[in-house]
Amino acid sequence: MAVAAVAPTLVSDTADVLGRRPVYLASLTLYAAANVGIALSKSYAALLGLRVLQALSISGTISTAYGVITDVASPAERGTFASVMAFAITIAPSFGPILSGSISYAAGWTWIFWFLSIAAGLCLAIMVFLLPETSRNVVGNDSIPPPKLLRLPFPNVMRHWKQEEKSEKVERKLPNPLKSLMIHTRRDNMVIVLAYGLYYVVYTCMNAALSVLFIDIYDLNQWQTGLIYLPFGLGGTASAFMSGPLLDTAYRRARTQRGLPSDRVLRDNLDISPVEKARLSVMWAPMIMTVCSVMAFGWVLHFHLHIAIPLSLQFIAGLAMQLDSSVYNVLLVDKNHRTPAAATASSNIVRCALAAITVSFLQRLIDSLGIGWTFTFMSGLCVISTGLFLVDYYRGTVWRQQALGLTISQEDHSRDEGRSGYQASDHENPVSGAFICTRERSGN
């Protein structure tokens, strides 16, 4: 977990500055090689070192993926793209233990890593042949050809590029590994990153305690213990099909209520849009579900009620937690649409650090407080998290605009985009992907 927390900060700004494609190709190559090495390793030292390399190589791909989503999806359809990604992220931890256990039982533990290396190789081949460069710092609005080494191997693909001699020149700069840490200097970012960090603590502790508690209370064997993770994963999987439409509908409704266009083909000016209210309006109901289900889960286990009850509560908690996670991730990249990979990596540092600290004394907490009060404490962390998200709901837009040096009010924004007396034009910066609003009075 320590490596997974730090590694994304090393590659996130590289993905934002040099491109998504080279980061993906390098990460998957190293990951495949690390798995082959683990499968062949004969000593503990080699196994430990290769496991570190494995975590180092693959942990940055999630933040890079959110960068790709920000590149290709307009704000009005970003929720749907993020929900598809959430489906993959959620289903893996739930079904992974079952798959790895089956492989280990049938062919031995080394074949787990042979399987991972084969899967990584297939993904690498798909990336090589089908994933074009999307970073706006490299290809602008996709009209600028990337460096030749980053192009797809087929010369007839991407014919919409401008002639190279006439294409705009993109300013090159070196990646800054500390860029992720600078995200935290903005108040609006720090509030939601801390809020989600507390939320992730509850998610991690709940998953970490499952096997120990269910084995102790319900006397399960190893195979049965692996199956208890399914309800949580199924709830998260179900949420992946709900979060996209909910987020996109809420965004379009928030824009419409302010008399603003919300065409999914066009890119809104996120710097002056109140994205906090548009995104967080989806979060409150799942937050309440999380608080109630986590607390009930603890007391159901405390009183040793029928196993079907905690499993059902797991499904509800998984559904609600993943919904809130999708809302948070989309909001974070909306706030930091110029550096989405760095923003996601900055969140990764905080959430992994908080989770690692809390999990380290989770068993002592259960021993001293009991199961019921431990999960009551966890639900209290969710309440604090909800309070921090409420702060961002009411103050986040103002803080963000102050940090960006903007003073455009909501009323001015409405006049700029939809009323007479002002003419507004959104110009896309092909380098940053940002949209700059220019304001001119007409007739005066």
- What is the Rg, in whole angstroms, of the alpha carbon atoms belonging to the chain? 23
Query: What predicted TM-score, i.e. pTM, was given to this entire model?
Result: 0.81
CB of 72 closer than 8 Å to CB of 136: no
* Residue 357 located in a structural domain: yes
Q: 16 or 179: which carries more pLDDT confidence? A: 16
* Residue 93 located in a structural domain: yes
Looking at the structure of the chain, the number of domains it has is 1
Task: Quote the crossing angle between the two packed helices 61-72 and 78-107, to the nearest 10°.
Answer: 150
Q: What is the dihedral of CA 389, 390, 395, 396, to 10 degrees?
A: 20
Tokens of 275: 């994205």
Q: How confident is the model at residue 254 (pLDDT cuts 50, 70, 90)?
A: confident
* Residue 51 located in a structural domain: yes
Tokens of 210: 């499952």
Cα distances from 277 to residues 3, 60, 179, 258, in angstroms, run 34, 29, 27, 12
Q: How confident is the model at residue 267 (pLDDT cuts 50, 70, 90)?
A: low
153-206: pLDDT as tens digits: 875 555 555 444 444 555 566 666 677 778 888 999 999 999 999 999 999 999
Tokens of 224: 């049965």
Taking the CB of residue 195, how many other CB atoms lie within 10 A of it?
24
CB of 362 closer than 8 Å to CB of 208: yes
Cα distances from 167 to residues 113, 133, 138, 153, in angstroms, run 45, 16, 12, 21
Helix (H) or strand (E) holding 137: helix 136-139
CATH of the domain at 44: 1.20.1250.20
* Residue 434 located in a structural domain: no
* Residue 424 located in a structural domain: no
82-128: pLDDT as tens digits: 888 877 777 777 777 778 878 888 888 899 999 999 999 999 999 99
Residue written as token pair 């603003």:
260
Residue 237 sits in which domain range? 2-151+178-403
Helix runs in 219-338, H state only: 222-227, 230-257, 275-280, 284-302, 308-335
* Residue 26 located in a structural domain: yes
* Residue 236 located in a structural domain: yes
* Residue 82 located in a structural domain: yes
